[in-house]
Amino acid sequence: MVATWGAALVLLVFFGLLLGDLLRHGLAGLSWEFFTSPPRHAGREGGIAPILVSTGLILGVCMLTALPFGLGTAVLLAEWTHHRSRTGALVRRSLDTLAGVPSIVFGLFGNAFFCVTLGLGFSIVAGGLTLACMVLPILIRSAEEGLRAVPHDYRLAAAALGLSRATTVRRLLIPAAIPALLAGFILGLGRAMAETAALIFTSGYVDRMPTSLWDSGRALSIHIYDLSMNVPGGDARAYSSALVLIALLLAINAGSMWVGHRLASKRILAA
C-alpha cells in the first residue's frame, strides 16, 4: 500500500520538477518577438519564427501524405478483410512491427531512401515523408478501430438500399467514424511534432526561413537539441522553445478531446 502510493508520488514529483523547471526558466523568454523574429547568434538571441514555419511545413507534408494512405489501408482492413484473413493479418503484423521501429532507424531509412536514392537531399519534403512512414501505424490503428466500431446495422441498411461500397464508405462509414479518425490524426500529429531523431539527417539543421519545400528546415525539437548541445549559452532560448513545444502538444491534445466530445454528443448531421 505504502509502496504503491510511493511509486505514484515519485512519478508525480519528478514531473512536477520537470514542468516547474521549464516554466521557471522558459516563461521569461516568451514574448511577441520570440515568435516573430529569426534566431540570431546561432540561436542565443532572437526568436524561432523560421523554425515554427519549418515545423509546420514538415508536419503538413507528413500528415498530407500519411492521411490518404493510412485511411485507405484502414478502410481496407476494416471493410474488405475480415478478422481471419491472411493478407489482412500480414498487413496488420507489419504495421505493428513498424510501430515499434526506433525513430533513429526511420531517420537512417529516410536519409538513405528519400535524401539519397530519391535525390531530395536534406529537405522539408524528405523529413515530412520520413515522419509520414512513422505515424502511419498510429493513424491506421485508430482509424481501423473507429471503422470497426460503426454498427453493423448501418452496413446492412446501406447494402439493402443498393448503395455501392464506395458510397457506403464515403457517405456513411467515414462520417460515422470521424471522432476516431480525428483522435488518430491528433495522436499522429503529436508524435510527429515530438520527433527529433528521425529529422536530424532528413530535414536538416538550417535555421533560415525556408523558401520552398525542397529547402532544408529546422524543426522545433531539433532547435532545442541544437541549442542545448551545440550552442554554449543557448539554454535560455532552449527553455523557451521547449515550453512552446510542450504547450503546442498540450493544446493539440486538449483540442482533440474537446472536438471528439462535441462530435460524439452532436452526431454527424450532414453526410
Partner 1 sequence: MTQHQTAPAPVAAAPSAAHAAPAPLLSAHRVNVFYGPRQALKDVSLSVAQASITALVGPSGSGKTSLLTCWNRLTDLIPSCRVTGSIHFANLDILSPHTDVLQLRRRVGMIFQKPNPFPFSIRQNLACPLREHGVTDPHLIDARLESALRQVGLWKEVSDRLETAALSLSGGQQQRLCIARALILSPEVLLMDEPCSALDPISSGWVEDLIVELRQQYTIVIVTHNLAQARRIADHVALFWVQHGTGQLIEHGPTAQLFDHPGHVLTAAYINGLRG
Partner 2 sequence: MFMTWLPLITLSPSHRDHLLRWLLWGCAGVTGGVLVCILVFLILEAMPALHQPGWHRFFTDASWHPAEGAYALWPMLAGTLLSTVGALLLAVPLGIGTAVFCYWYAPAWLAVPYQRFLELLAGIPSVVFGFWGLVTLVPLINQWKPPGSSLLAGMIILTVMILPTTSLLSHASLAQVSTESLCAAAALGFGRWGTLRHVVIPSCRSGLFTAGLLAAGRALGETMAVLMVCGNVVQMPSSLFDPIRTLTANMALEMTYAVGLHRSALFVSGLVLLLLVISLVGSATWISRTPRHG
- Residues 130-159 interacting with partner 1 (rule: CB under 8 A): 151, 153-159
User: 120: which 3 cell numbers?
Assistant: 531530395
Binder to partner 2 among 203, 221, 240, 256 (CB under 8 A)?
A: 221
Return the number of other C-beta atoms located less than 10 Å from residue 48's C-beta: 27
Binding track, positions 11-40, relative to partner 2; x by CB under 8 A = xx-xx-xx--xx------------------
Distance between CA 228 and CA 199 in Å, rounded? 17
19 in contact with partner 1 (CB under 8 A): no
**Could you tell me how many residues of this chain bind partner 1 (CB under 8 A)?**
24
Binding residues for partner 2 restricted to 76-95, rule: CB under 8 A: 76-77, 80, 90-91, 93-95
Angle at 73 between CA 93 and CA 143, to 5 degrees: 90
Contact mark string toward partner 2, 98..137, x via CB under 8 A: xxxxxxxxxxxx-xxx---x---------------x--x-
Asked if 162 interacts with partner 1 (CB under 8 A), we say yes
Per residue, the 3-state secondary structure of 76-91, as one string, reads HHHHHCCCCCHHHHHH
Closer by beta carbon to partner 2, 166 or else 270: 166
Rounded Cα–Cα distance for residues 201 and 115 (Å): 9
User: How many residues of this chain bind partner 2 (CB under 8 A)?
Assistant: 82
Of 65-94, which residues contact partner 1 (CB under 8 A)? 82
**Min. distance of Cβ 182 from partner 2 in angstroms?**
16
Q: Is 254 in the site for partner 1 (CB under 8 A)?
A: no
| Residues contacting residue 100 through CB under 8 Å, at least 6 positions apart | none
Long-range CB pairs of 243-248 (<8 Å, 24+ gap) are 243/22, 243/23, 243/26, 243/27, 243/30, 244/30, 244/48, 244/220, 245/193, 245/194, 245/220, 245/221, 246/19, 246/22, 248/193, 248/220
Q: Which is nearer to partner 1, 64 or 268 (CB)?
A: 268
- The footprint of partner 1 (CB under 8 A) covers 82, 151, 153-164, 167, 171-172, 175-176, 267-271
